[in-house]
Each structure stands twice: as structure tokens, then as C-alpha cells.
Structure 1
Amino acid sequence: MTAAETGDSTGGTGAAVPPAGHQTVLAPEHILHSGNSGMIVERTAQVRGEFHSESREFARELAEYINTRQQGVASVFVYEETFGTKDLVHWLIHLNSMDDYETLVRMGSQDEGYRGLFGKARIDESKGGGGWARMFVDGTLRESVLLPQFWGMYGTAVDGTLERQSTVFQEAGTTVALPPARHQTSQPDDLLLHSANAGIVIHRTAQIMYDFRSEARQFAREAAEAINDNLAGEATVLLYEDAFGPMDRIHWLIHLRSLGTYQRLLQLHVQNESVRDIFFRERAPEKGAGGTWARMFAQGSFEDVALTPHHWGLYATRLPSAR
């Protein structure tokens, strides 16, 4: 367990939260994350309060088993809600493609080590004993599938040219590879923030009005890239589509260097006139005059969840050696 893993990655000041990449022994170049993966499965589960620590040990052990056994296929990281529901654990499962999800499914029947993680006794007899299932509230395990957004996706339009420049349009044959979200931004690699190196990840969701399916996606990408252009090295915003949930629900992952960076976002939207224009500009006048971006989304559908990468001892949980 490194100094970074105990939350002390700043030479003893304890000022920085270690990013999720510190959860694995894999080198950064072998990690899949929100910038280079072709699919993200977000899994959430509500922990029972009495199993505060045991649940995190299980969550991390499960994630790292997949990381080390499925290198190049899947990378899994664990996060906690920063301000939302306490003891609601999030796993972000990053995969190269949907095809690779089948590899994880096969682990459940063919990998005895993986199966053993679920059969292991994890709760002390003083608490009644038992395995992982006792740690979580029944019925709270949920999954959402996020696919990196690309122009023309789900029958939407841009300008007739951008749609034809995507690799999905240009690929021939039966093998389809979705372009990772990293292709949405011109930020250089050394400044790109993603789910493995960000201090905080804000997951924003919104429901698009069907009549503005194309225009809303253009706005979503424009708003994201405005932040990327102005706050490179401090923030990276990437856009995803909901694959199997509500139709036309979109997801932004807003990767911040630290929680304090959020104040820079607020400042940007006050001071930068070109950024402000994105939000006040009239859009889709052919569908009715006087409308901005706001009419493109269902009222009340915007929701933000801030995620802190888990590290040992977070929220007064015990360290893995303290058993």
C-alpha cells in the first residue's frame, strides 16, 4: 500500500485525493479508462452501514482481480459519491468494446479464482458471518452502459460531412470499433484528464427532447469542448450515449484535477464571452424562434453526481491490513 493509496500523495500534506489509477498495480499505459475505452459499464450498489469497511475491501478486490487477469480487455475502478448518497459504491468498468463484455461474462463460469471471490466468507462471525451478498441492500445493484458519442450516432445529423468522417461510417466489413471519447477533444495526451488520473469525476446526465435529437448533441459537444479548450490540464469533458437505458439520455463525464477546479469552471462561465455565447445563442430557429439550448432537454432532467476515487481509509473505513 503506497502513500498515495492512503490519501497522502503530497509529501505528507494529505491535500490531494489519489486518482483511481493508484488502485491497480498496472502501469498507466496498460490501463483502460474513460478516454481510451470503447464502452463503460457503471455499476452501483448501496452498502449496508454495518459493513462499511468489508464492502470496500470486496469492491477493490473484485476490481483488481479483473484488472490483472484481463489486462487490455477491461479495467475497473471504484469510486464513492462525494456529496450524494453515502455508502453508494460505484464501479466504472472500462472495456475496449461490447465484444469484450462477453469475456467478463465467461469469467463467471470458467475462472475459478473469480468465482471464488463471490464464495469467500467476508464477514466476521461476530457480525453473523456470510459473504459479499450480505454487504449490500437487496435490489440496489444497477448498471448503466455508456458508449462514447460520435457524430451521426443513433441516426442524428450534423452537417452532412462530419458524420461521414467517423471511423464507424468509414469502416468496411462486419467488425465495428467505436472511436473512444478521447477523439472528441484536441487536448494533448499529457493534459488529458480521464477516469484513471482525475481527482474528481462529475457524472452529468440529461434527457434530450426528441424533436432536438441532433441539435442537443451538437450543443453537448460544443459545451464540452469549450471547457477542454480553456481549461486544458485542469478539466476534460467527454460525452457518452446511454446504450440500453432511456432513449436519448446523454452522459457527460467531467474530469477535474481536483474538487477546487470546479470553481474554475464557474469562473469560466462568468468571464469568457465565447463560452457564455454557447448558452445564450439562439438554436434551431426553424423549429421556433427565441429558443436556446434549454428547450432541447426535458425540464428537471439534468443531474450531477460527483465521484471521488476510492482510497484505503476513505470515509473512516479501515485499512485492508486492519483485520
Structure 2
Amino acid sequence: MRGTVESLVVDDAVRPLEVVYERTLTAHHGQRPKVVVLTHPDSWSEQQVRTLADAAARAGIDARTIMTVSEARATVEYCTQGRTLRRGTVLAVCDVGGTSLDTAVVVVTDTGGFDVVEARGDGTLGGRTLDAAVRRWAEEVFTTRDPGFATQLKQAPLGVHREFDEQARRAKESLTDEHTATIVVTLDGCDHTVTLTREDFDAAITPHIDRVVETMWGTLTDAGFGVEELGVLCTTGGSARIPLLTRRLAHLGSLATPNNPAVVAEGALIVAENSRRSLRVRAIGWIRPVGIAVAGALVVAGVALAAVRGLPENSAAHGTGTTPSTAQPTVVAEHWS
């Protein structure tokens, strides 16, 4: 709503990563994790992903343990765990986060993995956008009801505005399950209250919900698929469970909306574990033929040794140059054939 737009630099991410990593080490008595998984929007460039990984290394994380996973892949891994998906199945992800919207289309590969074929993001649309819509609605009500208070509110201290923003956010969240929510603004010791109904809320956020649905639809069509080809639409993020949004997105496909704020994080760990298992399977697959070959060579060597030991003491195997007996060598020759 205000401020400036700045590019992500390494220093911006170092401190948050340091805090999380230090808490992790404390919780596990100083034991360092074998793998550290960092998630990122699918619309990020390779340079942005490298910047994130560099920040993690500067935060004290061993660079050899860092693994990056896109948020869309992590989400579909979480939403489809335990399911058997056919090759070519089309999945979509709609992540309505606090400050941005990220959408992606994912296709199941021949090996059962996931390939992100299209991604689109909007850094101006997210949960805070909806919070601002709720606040504007409340401001209009205050202006109509008490213009004098509305004028005072514009000149109120920063702390009052921060509390107003917090009240708007709480109202948005409570309307996920409730039909009404109350917003209270305290100024000069007096409480000013307004009640927000589900209908009022839907009307206030409809233009933004339209943008979310249009973005998701655009990502699907850009990927070359229609609604009839979409298998599952995974929704995540702080605002994913808003009733109006789920109703609108349900027209695009079957919804999977986990009631878990850690969907992306847990999905990323599933990706890491599957990758570890895949490496182990490939290693076993490589070791098995080598082991068979070695075992075969040992058998051959054992047969050769047994054959040589079966020769007479004065045979050519001992370098005497004499002719072997007529029985034993014939058997050895037939065995080797």
C-alpha cells in the first residue's frame, strides 16, 4: 500500500535464515541437519534461487547440505501423498500468501515425479491486499456514520493505524468460519465499532478474488490445458480457505485445500526424502550388476583353480612341459566348453 519496491539481495535473507537455523540447532542440541531444504516461488529465476542459497550459506548453513525446491512442487507432493497418479495427470497450485499470489501447473512425469510446466506470480495480490480491502470498507462506514471521527482517524498516531490494520486482518480470518466479525478502533479512549458481515466481506474482496481466479485460469491456459484436463487444484496460503475464493476456484477443478499452514515446508521435506530414496535405489541398482559380475568372476576363478589343482603334478600347469594324462585334461576341456 505504501513504500518502495526493492530487489532481493543476499543480506535481506541472511538474518531470517540465521534465526531459524539457530532455533533448529538449539531444538536438536546442536546437531546439524543432513539436509536443509529452501523453498522458493516457481516464477523465480535461477539467479534469484542462487541468491537464496548464497544467503543460507552466509547464515552458517553448510552449502553441501542445501537443497532448493519450488513451492509448487512441494505443494503437490504434500497434497498427493499416498495417491497413485497416472503419467500425464495435470495438477495446479494456487498459493495465496500474505504478500503475493503464486500459481503453477504441474504434470506427472513418466517416472512418477512432477514437472512444473507453467508458473505465474503477482506480487501485488495476497492476503494483505484483502486486509486493506476490509480496512477501506470500515473507513467508508466510519465516514458515513461519523465524519468527525473519520477525520480524526486520518490524523491519528501510527499505533492506532497499526491496530486498525490488525483488526482488519483478524476480521478477515474469522470470516473464514464465522458469518460476522467486529472491528474496533480506539481513539482518545473511545471505542468505535463496526460489524462486518460475510456478505459485506465478499463484496469488498470480490475484485481481488476475480484477479486470483483470472491468474489461475491464465496459467492453466498458458500451459496448454483446459478445465476438463485439470485433475486436482491444490490451494494453499493464509487466505486459501476464504469461502468466496474456494467457491470460485471450484469451478476450475477438484480442490485440495489442506488445513495445515506448513503445507509447503512439509511438502519440501517429502521431496528431499524421496530424492534420498531415489539416490539409494539408483546406487543399489548400480551395485547389483557389479556384484553379480564380481561373483561370476569369482566363480570362474574358483572353477579354474579347481581345474588346475586337478591336473597331475607334472602337468604344464606347473611349467614342466610334459604332456598331461589322457583322462583329467579331457574333463577340464569339456568343463570349460
TM-score with structure 2 setting the length: 0.25
TM-score with structure 1 setting the length: 0.26
